[in-house]
Amino acid sequence: MQNYLQQHSLQLDEVLLDTNGSTAQKMGMFGLPSTLFFDAQGKLIDTHMGEITHAALHQKIQNLVSD
User: What does the pLDDT look like over 5-60, one tens digit per residue?
Assistant: 788 787 777 787 888 888 888 888 777 788 889 888 989 999 898 889 989 999 99
* Helix (H/G/I), strand (E/B), else coil: 49: strand
* Helix (H/G/I), strand (E/B), else coil: 25: helix
pLDDT of res. 43: 92
CATH class of 1-65: alpha beta
B/e letters for 2-30, b = 16+ CB within 10 Å, e = fewer, are: eeeeeeeeeeeeeeeebeeeeebeeeebe
pLDDT of res. 31: 73
Alpha helices in 1-67 (DSSP H): 2-7, 22-27, 54-66
pLDDT of res. 59: 92
